[in-house]
Amino acid sequence: MAEPHITRYIFVTGGVVSALGKGIAASSIGLLLQKRGLKVTNMKFDPYLNVDPGTMNPFQHGEVFVLDDGSETDLDLGHYERFLNQSLDQGNNVTTGQVYNSIITRERRGDYLGATVQVIPHVTEELKSRMRAPARSEDKPDVTIVEIGGTVGDIESLPFLEAIRQMALEEGQNNTLFIHLTLVPYIATAGEFKTKPTQHSVRELRGIGIQPHVLLCRSTSPLSDSIKQKISLFCSVPTRSVIVAEDASTIYDVPLRFHEQHLDQIVCEHFGMELPEPDLIEWEKLVERIKHPQRRVKIGICGKYVKLRDAYKSIIEAFVHAGVSSDAQVDLIWVSSEDIKHGGAEKYLFDVDGLLIPGGFGERGVEGKIETIRYARENKIPFLGICLGMHCAVIEFARNVCGLEDAHSYEFYRDLKHAVIHLMADQEGVTELGGTMRLGAYPCIIKEGTHSREAYGTSEISERHRHRFELNNVYREMLTDNGLVLAGTSPDDRLVEIVEVPDHPWFVAVQFHPELKSRLINPHPLFREFVRAAVDFQTRKAVPAEKEDESSDQLRKLNT
Ligand code: GLN
């Protein structure tokens, strides 16, 4: 009889401070095991009471990462997908809100009749059951990596830590591994690295019955053997399992650094797995290209949350991936839409090679975005508009090309003469805000002869969405009569998904979020072609007109 399939578990916790990069660490471990031939899935357990981050302000939470199935999830899911090149689903992001929601529903139904419903065992049982869900599915992983949100010591993550402690008992010590990510700060006045915060944080973990097997120590530079030995001694972790997670110039280098320190070997040994070395050749090549680009291009991004880069995480990463395809470092120039509104586009954007308007909500900053788009359209600067960015592109076109001066979006004003962007029919009457937008993957059909068709190389695509408003079909004829190309629509032709401006080197605006599907080994076609167009634009700027043909020929050769 065949051996029963065993799913092993790696639990990743964080200590000392937040924002140490647990998501990158968990993704890097996942990648290394995947490259050793294992089937891996990554899960994120978030201790907050929201059912999902969909209703949270980006300042609280950063970007909301939308999956194919329409679930709105933590941005770490984006890292998992980008590193492992796989698509996840709702079950991969669990929150306290979801857990309580289902327990309370069951309690009201009478499922616990007679019992007092409590954090232990009911909440912990539910948490463990969700950790085991991938192992129960048909597509059983060899390893499930569970990242616990928050920092050890937070009151709200206690049930999560208790659940993973119990998992080790129930699944067996050899099938479970605890990895703890901490900070080893350098104190300049003392000229020393300090291990005390790590010691405290490990003590906190041990207090709840968890002894970490591996420590990932974030630091600004390499740690000496004596520091590692000290950490090893005080934290009861073998010296070779004290791994240094030094600041890296690119997050994609992190798995390679972990591999150099044998992290994947340590994991395999713990699980008693004998596996070939990971095949990292392709990954190494990509990281080399990120680190040593042949050229640089400047892309301006005009948005509302420009001071908060986490709000645009996937866009930033999509540019890293796309940059590799053009052998270019993409320098992102962040400009606040408010500044553009007051100071004009030229002042801030005169030297960019491309412009992007990201998605967003709310009226503040919209006029600055529309002005940026006018600048890109008139000066033939490559342009990519995403979701609200597409709405603004349609408003700009309606105002400045079609002459509808008061064109605007119904999202911001109800009493409009020309609502060129309107509420989608199925959004009418929707009153609850959580999880009610048009969310997730929908198909789109692309017209022949468009930039988008050329970029994708196919006419049928599927992309992820998160919106309530759409191009108002009443204005389709007027927009197209004035030259706007409706380059992509839903298969039933009821919803415009892509618009393009002709007589322009590259002007594409999309209703969906292409950034959510870009992966390092598989850059998104629109980002890839947008960056290519920006490189072309830069070359044209640098070369006098008569030399232009010759130079773009050369560029094309370089790129092929
Ligand atoms: N606020 C717009 C809508 O709801 C755009 C959303 C977005 O950019 N993700 O349709």
The minimum-distance atom of ligand 1 relative to the CA of 362 is 1
- Please state, in angstroms and rounded to a whole number, the distance separating the CA atoms of residues 128 and 466: 30
Residue 200 CA to ligand 1 centre (angstroms): 44
- Least confident span in 11-25, 50-64, 74-88, 365-379: 50-64
Q: What is the DSSP letter of 357?
A: E
pLDDT at 549 over 90: no
- Please state, in angstroms and rounded to a whole number, the distance separating the CA atoms of residues 75 and 305: 16
Instruction: Please report the pLDDT score of residue 547 as a whole number.
Output: 56
Q: pLDDT tens for residues 378-409? A: 999 999 999 999 999 999 999 999 999 999 99
The minimum-distance atom of ligand 1 relative to the CA of 437 is 4
Q: What domains appear along the chain, each with residue ranges and CATH number? A: 8-285 (3.40.50.300), 295-555 (3.40.50.880)
The whole-chain average pLDDT of the chain stands at 93
Instruction: Please report the pLDDT score of residue 475 as a whole number.
Output: 96
Residue 241 CA to ligand 1 centre (angstroms): 46
How far lies 29's CA from each of 22, 143, 388, in Å?
11, 10, 35
Residue 437 CA to ligand 1 centre (angstroms): 9
Catalytic residue positions? 387, 513, 515
pLDDT at 197 over 90: yes
The amino acid sitting at 283 is W
- From atom 1 of ligand 1, which residue's Cα is the shortest distance away? 361
Q: Are 152 and 161 in contact (CB under 8 A)?
A: yes
| pTM to 2 decimal places | 0.93
Q: Are 154 and 17 in contact (CB under 8 A)?
A: no
Q: Cβ < 6 Å from ligand 1: which residues?
A: 359-361, 387-388, 411, 466-469
Quickly list DSSP for 481-523: HTT-EEEEE-TTS-SEEEEE-SSSS-EEEESS-GGGG-BTTB-
Q: Are 211 and 185 in contact (CB under 8 A)?
A: no
Mean pLDDT of 134-151: 95
Q: What is the DSSP letter of 212?
A: -
- From atom 5 of ligand 1, which residue's Cα is the shortest distance away? 388
Instruction: Please report the pLDDT score of residue 559 as a whole number.
Output: 47
* Token pair belonging to 176: 């479970």
Instruction: Please report the pLDDT score of residue 112 as a whole number.
Output: 92
Neighbours of 265 (CB within 10 A): 16
The minimum-distance atom of ligand 1 relative to the CA of 421 is 10
Instruction: Please report the pLDDT score of residue 457 as a whole number.
Output: 97
pLDDT band at 560 (very low <50, low <70, confident <90, very high): very low
- Please state, in angstroms and rounded to a whole number, the distance separating the CA atoms of residues 10 and 547: 58
Backbone φ and ψ of 478, nearest 5°? -65, -40
- Please state, in angstroms and rounded to a whole number, the distance separating the CA atoms of residues 317 and 332: 11
- Please state, in angstroms and rounded to a whole number, the distance separating the CA atoms of residues 45 and 147: 6
The radius of gyration of the chain's CA atoms, rounded to the nearest angstrom, is 25
pLDDT at 193 over 70: yes
Residue 360 CA to ligand 1 centre (angstroms): 6
- Please state, in angstroms and rounded to a whole number, the distance separating the CA atoms of residues 68 and 89: 7
Backbone φ and ψ of 245, nearest 5°? -110, 80
- Please state, in angstroms and rounded to a whole number, the distance separating the CA atoms of residues 120 and 132: 18
Residue 373 CA to ligand 1 centre (angstroms): 17
**556 vs 6, higher pLDDT:** 6
**554 vs 110, higher pLDDT:** 110
**192 vs 318, higher pLDDT:** 318
* Token pair belonging to 2: 């065949």
CA dihedral 558, 501, 389, 289 (to 10 degrees): 0
pLDDT at 555 over 80: no
- From atom 9 of ligand 1, which residue's Cα is the shortest distance away? 359
Mean pLDDT of 278-289: 96
Quickly list DSSP for 530-557: HHHHHHHHHHHHHS-GGGHHHHHHHHHH
pLDDT at 551 over 60: no
CA 28 to chain centre: 15
Q: pLDDT tens for residues 14-54? A: 987 887 899 999 999 999 999 999 999 999 999 999 998 88
Total residues belonging to the chain? 560
- From atom 6 of ligand 1, which residue's Cα is the shortest distance away? 467
Tell me which of 468, 495, 496, 515 to substitute to probe ligand 1's pocket, judged by most ligand atoms within 8 Å of the beta carbon.
468
pLDDT band at 558 (very low <50, low <70, confident <90, very high): very low
- Please state, in angstroms and rounded to a whole number, the distance separating the CA atoms of residues 122 and 115: 10
Q: Are 441 and 464 in contact (CB under 8 A)?
A: yes
The amino acid sitting at 17 is V
pLDDT at 111 over 80: yes
The continuous run of DSSP H or E covering 376 comes out as helix 366-378
Mean pLDDT of 155-183: 96
The minimum-distance atom of ligand 1 relative to the CA of 424 is 10
